Amino acid sequence: MGAVTSTVAAKFAFFPPTPPSYQVVKDEATGKLKFSDVPVRDNVDILRLNTKRGHNIVALYVRNANARLTLLYSHGNAADLGQMYELFVELSAHLRVNLMGYDYAGYGQSSGKPNEYNTYSDIEAAYECLERDYGAKQEDIVLYGQSVGSGPTLDLASRLRHLRAVVLHSPILSGLRVMYPVKRTYWFDIYKNIDKIGHVSCPVLIMHGTADEVVDCSHGKQLWELSKEKYEPLWLKGGGHCNLELYPEYIRHLRKFISSVEKSPLNRNGSRRSTDRKEHPRKSMDHLEQSRKSVDHHEHSRKSADRFEQARKSTDHK
């Protein structure tokens, strides 16, 4: 029963676009990687990253000259980077942030097959790239998780003590809870966000549509209730699962949040610099894997909207 339910939950969670919406090619003039059929922009880097689970994933980095913060965006289950490209460029410009997005294993031109633990490895590779190649510091990084992307986002956020902030967009309590209103966490469930949100020590913004037909708005509301450092949530009246970006309130509220955390001190209420847990110097992501295992063990026991509309047209089919 458990194995069957877990398989069903995993199948629900992952719907990579088939065929992928883009190809990765080398620009003959510059020698750099680019997406096919997408205009080349000087401020966008296309990358290939190796994960510790042996996969090669595709990522893109949008550079903003006025940025103070960097957004690490984990997209939803029925999209890939080709479809998210224009939205990412728009978000970077509107929010004045650098932005990195990545495709999970099995999505777009990333190798491998999608599953829960591969996505954890995928986001770690993207995060590590931000630190290593772009000089981003943990305290200047905001993790953004949309739908299924809330899983890897909260897993990483629960193990990083000095993150600037977290954004959860139409998040799930867990994979199983999307299908069944279970009251407890089972070992075979995936993305146990309900058990990890309490380990996040930075400000959390949650946005959810009240008419979400895929993930009920109650998921977002319960995660907000369980957050340690709550920020004013955004419950978009009539919003569905894949169209929040089309509401003017979306970008206004998100910009307000980014501005707020930019101005906030890093040592507010000990949320950034906890005296209870000192973070060890990070030469690799190995300690994160150990931290996740510890958390998992604990769980077992207990645009105006117009420009955004143009950017999202390719994902409306979801």
Report whether 27 contacts 34 (CB < 8 A): yes
Is 147 marked active-site? yes
Active site residue: 147, 150, 170, 201, which one? 147
Both structure tokens of 259? 């501005």
- The count of other CB atoms within 10 Å of the CB of residue 305 is 17
Cα–Cα distance for residue pair 104/225, rounded to 1 Å: 29
Is 241 marked active-site? yes
Cα–Cα distance for residue pair 144/157, rounded to 1 Å: 10
Cα–Cα distance for residue pair 156/153, rounded to 1 Å: 5
Spatial neighbors of 56 by CB under 8 A, at least 6 apart, are 48, 49, 50, 110, 111
Spatial neighbors of 48 by CB under 8 A, at least 6 apart, are 24, 33, 56, 57, 58, 59
Cα–Cα distance for residue pair 278/131, rounded to 1 Å: 19
Spatial neighbors of 162 by CB under 8 A, at least 6 apart, are 138, 139, 266, 272, 273, 279
Active site residue: 75, 169, 219, 241, which one? 241
Active site residue: 80, 103, 122, 212, which one? 212
Active site residues: 147, 212, 241
